[in-house]
Amino acid sequence: MSDPTTRAHSEVAFPGSTGERELQQRFGTTQRAERFYNCQVIDRLNDEMHRFLSRMEIMFVSTSDSQGECDSSIRCGLPGFVVALDDKTVVYPELRGNGVMASLGNITENPHIGLLLVDFFETTVGLHLNGSAKILENDELLEDPRVTGEIRLKCERTGGRKPERWVRVTIAEAYIHCSKHIPLMKRMPKEIAWGTDDERLKGGDFFGVSRRNNSLKSE
């Protein structure tokens, strides 16, 4: 794996949006932002990021549709469930969910995606990966020569842990999320009911929305 940590941010296609740049000027943070771009933003995974990914169990996913309407979601799995195929490409599995397909639906309209993986249990550091996403069926992913035996085994699983499909992300930006405001958490035992449709195990009507909706319908 190459180690691009010495690359200047100019090798990343214009880090930051126009809105970022305008607000940096308005609020006097341009120099601070430039230091961050120069020191921390790269366009691929380096060796440290590869090692970080191999330990992660939690990832936040941000997508938007063609009109810019946003959705945020979370993906969890065993350590290393997000897999790097190379320095520029990661894949993650889509397990059985609620059938809404919010994230995947957005990707079909707008491939831009933002991933944030956070180490809540040791370093409280996060890793941002921004790029473009593509949905792959299991068979389609397995045709990629970069796919490892580990991924092949995941595709052969049965039951709730079998990926229904995968998302492949081509990385445009990779950078740290600093640890100063992230709480350190303690891992507690929990039996994970992968892919279950059991409402009790899924959390039931925790926020009471279904109960209130049903009440309104019966009036």
Q: What is the pLDDT of residue 218?
A: 64
Tally the residues of the chain.
219
Report the distance separating Cα 7 and Cα 13, nearest Å.
12
**The model's pTM:** 0.89
Q: What is the pLDDT of residue 13?
A: 53
Residue 32 has pLDDT above 60, yes or no: yes
Residue 219 has pLDDT above 90, yes or no: no
Q: What is the mean pLDDT of the chain?
A: 90
Strand order of the sheet with strand 58-64? 70-76, 58-64, 112-118, 126-136, 165-177, 89-94, 83-86
More confident residue, 216 or 22: 22
Give the residues across from 83 on adjacent strands.
91
Q: How far is CA 94 from the centre of its chain?
A: 11
Q: How far is CA 59 from the centre of its chain?
A: 5
Share of the chain above pLDDT 90, in %: 72
Q: Where are the alpha helices (DSSP H) in 30-144?
A: 30-40, 47-53, 102-109, 138-142
For the segment 34-78, what is each residue's pLDDT rounded down to a tens digit?
999 999 999 999 999 999 999 999 999 999 999 999 999 999 999
What is the set of domains in the chain, with CATH numbers?
12-41 (no CATH), 42-188 (2.30.110.10)
**By the 8 A CB rule, do 83 and 91 touch?**
yes
Largest CA distance in the chain: 66
- SS3 of 70, please? strand
Q: Which of 108, 123, 130, 147 is nearest to 60 (CA)?
A: 130
Report the distance separating Cα 9 and Cα 104, nearest Å.
30
Q: Which range is least confidently modeled, 62-76, 79-93, 191-205?
A: 191-205
For the segment 125-170, what is each residue's pLDDT rounded down to a tens digit?
999 999 999 999 999 999 999 998 889 998 888 778 899 999 999 9
Share of the chain above pLDDT 70, in %: 91
Instruction: Enter the DSSP assignment of 67.
Output: T
